[in-house]
Structure 1
């Protein structure tokens, strides 16, 4: 469980402070809301898978496969079973799960349990910090406020446009902004390490990217979840959702190994219902 995770209200204020215009805020903050939502969904799904795996190993259920049937019949029952199982392991982590759900409800004005389900996935070895994944999703793209060629303000004639050649720097600029504002290294890493399916030192050099030499890859499960969630939504104007296959084709432009890495991550964390999420947020699917 990560320490020193910022308060939800502090994160919201930081977006307002960083944004140069209302249009920039609406685009970037709304994207972060989507990614925080998907990150929570993936993290919660991971915890469900682990809880039911443990119950099955303890012979609390005759058949682990019955989990999917139970989930279909009563989502509320599944939630309670998961939380009871989690509290046996770590009561603080269970409380963080409750906090994440409460904050997400404020953010999207909907009971998170009514969101579309995630399918598939592999049970993790340990429970995921759902609040860390949620907060990381809200903060991951804070640096994109600092890579705008036209910032949507009156001085830019209201036009909003990213600085394409320097866009790759948004993760590092977000990392530095969070550190400068007193956020912990663990939290700042959400901004630094979410690009693509992870950038290695070798890829930075081979692609001649304008980044300091180093690995830009997730260091925790929660960071990896945010990185994965980020691939399902684009900040294009207008923003849109991406399917698993759409992003696979996008990843393949940087090599087949990149595409394979993406599909491994999908198998690991499961598939959110992109079309239903797009309907929920009022966006189109690519």
Structure 2
């Protein structure tokens, strides 16, 4: 299922060279989180999305590998991503359920960029908390629903303010829905500057896709392809169709197995 009107995004090696080290991003989460419970929820979600993003990128590269050999630099970026994931979830990351389906990309994908983008994408959600889990709110944690849509832009501006590159900040800005357009912003009267908030690289698009499989509800919840399709359809059938096109492109995770894996390792705090 392919929509020819949708541009096929590519890996941009120059932009990806400006991405931060894993340790910088980990420190950013720690210094930004207003409470331990906020950190556990938002950082935990980012760990899940970063891992799924890496899985998708790696899976697509393996599909491409059958046709053309990946360069040594791409292989090194894959090893770097895997070493970071091991630090987060341990050596048993190899037990992650595989991605099924998908299509080979036109060129190799930077797996580290997809991973670190997943770790960065929701940094702005620390700034849309109604109750931040601190003692001031008796430990209660909740989001400011009407302003939640601002989390991408707030994260983008925050990352730039903290000295991160434009390329890094775009992972926060460009992951909402299945690619938020200026027309949708205007039509839905969203509290955002009227502009496009769509992924600019294939790695940004992968993070956007991965993000749809896990919500920051309390407790966190995993969504199947069909569950998110129904959610996307609330904003128009075009959104639902676009979601299915993205799944066709990048493959489908085993959501039940992922939930078992991560609920035991990352989200046990909430259960």
TM-score (norm 2): 0.91
Q: Distance in 2 between matches of 1:145 and 1:110?
A: 29
Residue in 1 that maps onto 2:23:
9
Residue in 2 that maps onto 1:38:
52
Q: Distance in 2 between matches of 1:176 and 1:275?
A: 35
- 1:158 maps onto 2:172 in alignment: no
Residue in 1 that maps onto 2:161:
180
- 1:141 maps onto 2:155 in alignment: no
State the secondary structure of the residue aligned to 1:189.
Answer: helix
Q: 2:240 aligns with which of 259, 262, 277?
A: 259
| Most deviating of 90-99 and 271-280 | 90-99
Q: Distance in 2 between matches of 1:99 and 1:253?
A: 39
State the secondary structure of the residue aligned to 1:272.
Answer: coil
Residue in 2 that maps onto 1:24:
38
Alignment of 1:88-127 (within 5 A): 90-127=71-108
- 1:194 maps onto 2:175 in alignment: yes
Q: CA RMSD in A?
A: 1.1
Instruction: Report the Cα offset of residue 115 of structure 1.
Output: 1.3
Q: 2:253 aligns with which of 272, 280, 283?
A: 272
Q: 1:222 aligns with which of 199, 203, 222?
A: 203
Instruction: Report the Cα offset of residue 110 of structure 1.
Output: 2.9
Instruction: Report the Cα offset of residue 92 of structure 1.
Output: 1.8
Instruction: Report the Cα offset of residue 254 of structure 1.
Output: 0.2
Instruction: Report the Cα offset of residue 4 of structure 1.
Output: 1.6
Q: Distance in 2 between matches of 1:112 and 1:202?
A: 40
Instruction: Report the Cα offset of residue 157 of structure 1.
Output: 1.4
Instruction: Report the Cα offset of residue 53 of structure 1.
Output: 2.5
Which 5+ residue runs of structure 2 have no aligned equivalent? 1-12
TM-score (norm 1): 0.86
- 1:244 maps onto 2:258 in alignment: no
Residue in 2 that maps onto 1:68:
none
Q: Distance in 2 between matches of 1:93 and 1:124?
A: 14
Q: Distance in 2 between matches of 1:100 and 1:7?
A: 11
Q: Distance in 1 between matches of 2:93 and 2:143?
A: 32
Count of residue correspondences: 251
State the secondary structure of the residue aligned to 1:161.
Answer: strand
